[in-house]
Amino acid sequence: MKKISAELFFSVMWKGVCQALEWFFGLFGYKKKGLLGFVVWRLFASSVAVILGIFATVMVFKIGGTVYEKKFKEAHCYDPDCINSEYLGKNIYYHNTADGKCYVFNSLSQKKTIKSIEWIARPEGEDSLICFSDGEKRGYFNKNTGEVVIPAKYNHAWTFSEGLASVDDNGSIKFIDGTDKTVINNVRSYVPGMDGLFFHGGYCLIDKEGPELCCLIDKSGWTVLPMVYNEITPSSNYEFWKVRTGNEEAVYDKDMKTIIPLTECSLNLYDDEICMTLPDHTMRKYDIKGHLIHDFYIVGVRDLEYESPEIINRPPTSNVVSDEITETIDESYRPRAIAKLRAYTAGKNYDGLMTRDGHPVTMPLYENIEAIGPDLYLCTVSNEDKVVVNGKGELVK
C-alpha cells in the first residue's frame, strides 16, 4: 500500500473543500473569476485562518492550564486554614494550621480525612502506608486516599519496608502487613528508645538486647543467620551480607551461600568485588563469586631520602640587615640522597620495603618508614616504637 504524506493529505483535503464551496456559492450566481470573486475568496480564506488561529491559541492555553493546575495542586491544597502543606499523593496533603495542629486533607473532596495528628513518618520505598501518631498511639493511613487503614492503637510503630512494619505490641516487637495481620510474632522485646526494625533485600537485622549479638531473619520469620555474630552488614545493593564474629569475617550472597568463609581479616564489600585486608596488612581482592583476583595489592610507592654524610661547603655570604649590622650566612649543607630500597603502602596505610624492581623485602608491618642511610631504614612499629631494618629486611640490634 502506498504511503500518503501529511502534506499531500491536507493539500487534497483543502482542494476538496474549495471545490465544494465554489459549487455551493455557484448556486447563488457566484463566480471565482473577477474582482468580486477575488475579494470574497480572500475574505473567506482570511476568516478561516483567523478562526484556526483562535482555536490553536485556545488549545495551547487549555493544555498549558491543565499542566499548570496539576503542578500547582501538588504544592497547594486549597485549604484556607493551611499555613504549611506537604504533598503526600494524588489529592492528599498533610499540613499545619495557625494553632499548630496537624491533619490530613483531601483537596478533591475538600475534607479533612484525619484530624489532630502529632507527626507522620513516610516510608522510603514504594509502600503506600504512612505511620502517624495522635499524640498517644500510632497507626497507619493510605497516602493516596488519606483514610486510616490501621487505627492508632500501638504504643510504638515504625514505617513500612518491603510490605511489613515493626510495631510494639504490649512490650513485644512483631511485624504486621498492610491489613494489620501479624506476620512475624515475638521478634524481640521492646527497649525504650530503640530504633525500628526494617526489611532490606528480603531480610531484617535483629539485635539481641544485652550482649553484642545479632541475627538475620527472612519475611517468614525464619532465622537465616543465627544469633552468633557481633556484626551483620549488607552491601549497598543488598546482594551480599558481611558478618563478623570476633576478629573473623565472612561474606554470604542473598541466598545465604558462602562466598568468603570465616577468615581472620577485614572485609570491604563493593558491587563488583570484595577487598580483604589480612592481619599482616596485605591486601587481596575477590570477585563477587569468591574467586581470587590477586593476593598482593598495594596503594602506592615512594622513594626514601636520607642525609648524605658528605658536607658541601660554600663560601659564606653577607646579608646587610641595617647600617650597623651585617649578617653572615653559612651555606654549608648535607645533600639529600635516595636510598637503595623504596617504601610501599598497603592495607590500612601500613608500609613495607621493596626493591626498585618491585620485589617485596618486608611485609607491610610498619606505620612509617624513613631512610637513615644508603641501605638502612628506621621503621615505626606502633606508638612511636621504632626499629632499624637493613636492606635485607632484618632487624639491626
List residues bridging with 141 in a β-sheet: 130, 148
For the chain, the distance separating the N- and C-terminal CA atoms, rounded to the nearest angstrom, is 97
User: What pLDDT shows up at residue 57?
Assistant: 75
User: What pLDDT shows up at residue 14?
Assistant: 57
User: What pLDDT shows up at residue 208?
Assistant: 79
User: What pLDDT shows up at residue 110?
Assistant: 85
User: What pLDDT shows up at residue 61?
Assistant: 65
Q: Using CA atoms, how far apart are residues 34 and 52, in angstroms rounded to an integer?
A: 27
User: What pLDDT shows up at residue 35?
Assistant: 57
Enumerate residues 6+ apart whose C-beta is below 8 A from 223: 215, 216, 217
Q: Using CA atoms, how far apart are residues 57 and 255, in angstroms rounded to an integer?
A: 60
Report the candidate in 122, 206, 201 with the shortest Cα–Cα distance to residue 159.
Answer: 122
Q: Are 305 and 297 in contact (CB under 8 A)?
A: no
Torsion, Cα 225 229 231 237, to 10 degrees, reads: -20
Edge-to-edge order in the sheet of strand 376-382: 368-373, 376-382, 385-390, 395-396
User: What pLDDT shows up at residue 219?
Assistant: 96
Residue 172 Cα to chain centre, angstroms: 32
CA distances from 231 to 220, 260, 272, 283 (A): 22, 16, 22, 22
Q: Using CA atoms, how far apart are residues 215 and 213, in angstroms rounded to an integer?
A: 7
Total residues found in the chain within this entry = 397
Which residue has 465554489 as its cell numbers? 22
CB atoms within 10 A of CB 115: 11
User: What pLDDT shows up at residue 147?
Assistant: 95
pLDDT in tens, the chain (397 residues): 555 565 565 565 656 656 665 655 565 555 555 555 555 555 665 665 567 667 667 776 666 555 544 444 444 555 666 667 888 988 899 987 777 778 999 988 888 899 889 999 999 889 999 999 998 999 999 999 999 999 999 999 999 999 999 999 999 999 999 999 999 999 999 999 888 999 999 999 998 766 789 999 999 999 999 999 999 999 999 999 999 999 999 999 999 999 999 999 999 998 889 999 999 999 999 999 999 999 999 999 999 999 887 777 666 666 665 666 666 666 666 788 999 999 999 988 999 999 999 999 999 999 999 999 999 999 999 888 999 999 999 999 8
Question: What letter does residue 161 receive in the DSSP assignment?
Answer: B
Q: Using CA atoms, how far apart are residues 266 and 72, in angstroms rounded to an integer?
A: 52
Enumerate residues 6+ apart whose C-beta is below 8 A from 109: 91
Q: Report the SS3 class of residue 350.
A: strand
- Give all domains of the chain, ordered by start, each with its CATH number: 10-75 (no CATH), 84-198 (2.40.128), 201-297 (no CATH), 300-396 (no CATH)
Edge-to-edge order in the sheet of strand 336-346: 300-307, 336-346, 350-354
CA distances from 319 to 264, 313, 330 (A): 63, 18, 11
User: What pLDDT shows up at residue 73?
Assistant: 47
Q: Using CA atoms, how far apart are residues 104 and 338, in angstroms rounded to an integer?
A: 73
